[in-house]
Amino acid sequence: MTEAAANAVRTIAILGGTGKEGKGLAYRWAKKGYRIIIGSRQVEKAQAAANDILSLLDPGTNVTGMANGEAAAAADLAVMTVPYSAHRAMLESVKDALKGKILIDVTVPLVPPKVTKVQMPAAGSASQEAQQILGDDVQVVAAFQNISYEHLLHDEPVHCDVLVCGSGKSARQIVLRLVSEAGLVGWDAGPIENSVVVEGMTSILIGINKQYGVESSGIVITGVPRPESA
């Protein structure tokens, strides 16, 4: 990854970003000076979410709300934080706007009511499904599936690592930089085929949360030197 490629990402669209995870990531990146666009099917809902985030930040922070398609078109990089039930429809609606860009897919293929049971789609994972739908014009990277949203809207440390999977190493490196900018520790977890493990882990963590009465169980990679900021 060149420094120029990493620095070229200044505007991030969070598609379906009105939920807690989308808002949490938006908050953390906006604090680092990125321009954030919250996307939603309803512009009013996107603008309301943007205002919620702005209320937590210093004046002059750049967070706005738009329809999903407009947000995707205006961004350098997009992040998708939608329930799996809306995954395919969302991808098809923004496919043209994402051409030539990186999409970070946070989606997990949970199938209610059995959300503690791993249930992967025919493509292998939600991220692989996204790559099939979007084609080679978009670089899909899987990340943030195992991060509980409970802590993202606060400045406290998050004791869970982020595994980043994607077909292109340069795209993974750009996403790893954004993971770090969000105050999290990320690891290059290899090609997009490996996202089946990362996405499936979410159901296991949900089950652990339920069994032990907690809200934010996570994973941490051991045996490797931690970044100094971790």
pLDDT band per the 50, 70, 90 thresholds, residue 151: confident
- Residue 57, domain member (yes or no): yes
Say if CB 214 and CB 189 are below 8 A apart: no
pLDDT over threshold 80, residue 139: yes
The whole-number average pLDDT for the span 18-42 is 96
Which of 143, 29, 110, 117 has its CA nearest to residue 75?
29
- Residue 184, domain member (yes or no): yes
CATH number of domain containing 41: 3.40.50.720
Q: Is 52 helix (H, G, I), strand (E, B) or coil?
A: helix
What would the two tokens of residue 139 be? 């670089």
- Residue 217, domain member (yes or no): no
Average pLDDT over the chain, rounded to whole? 94
Burial class (CB in 10 A: 0-12, 13-18, 19+), 59: exposed
Domain span at residue 200 reads 3-212
- Residue 219, domain member (yes or no): no
**In 124-161, beta strands by DSSP E:** 139-142
pLDDT over threshold 50, residue 1: no
Longest C-alpha distance within the chain, in Å? Answer: 47
110: DSSP letter: -
- Residue 110, domain member (yes or no): yes
- Residue 222, domain member (yes or no): no
- Residue 142, domain member (yes or no): yes
Number of independent structural domains in the chain: 1
Beta bridge partners of 164: 188
- Residue 165, domain member (yes or no): yes
What pLDDT does 230 receive?
A: 54
For residue range 32-64, what is the model confidence (pLDDT) as tens digits?
999 999 999 999 999 999 999 999 999 989 999
Query: pTM of the full predicted structure?
Result: 0.95
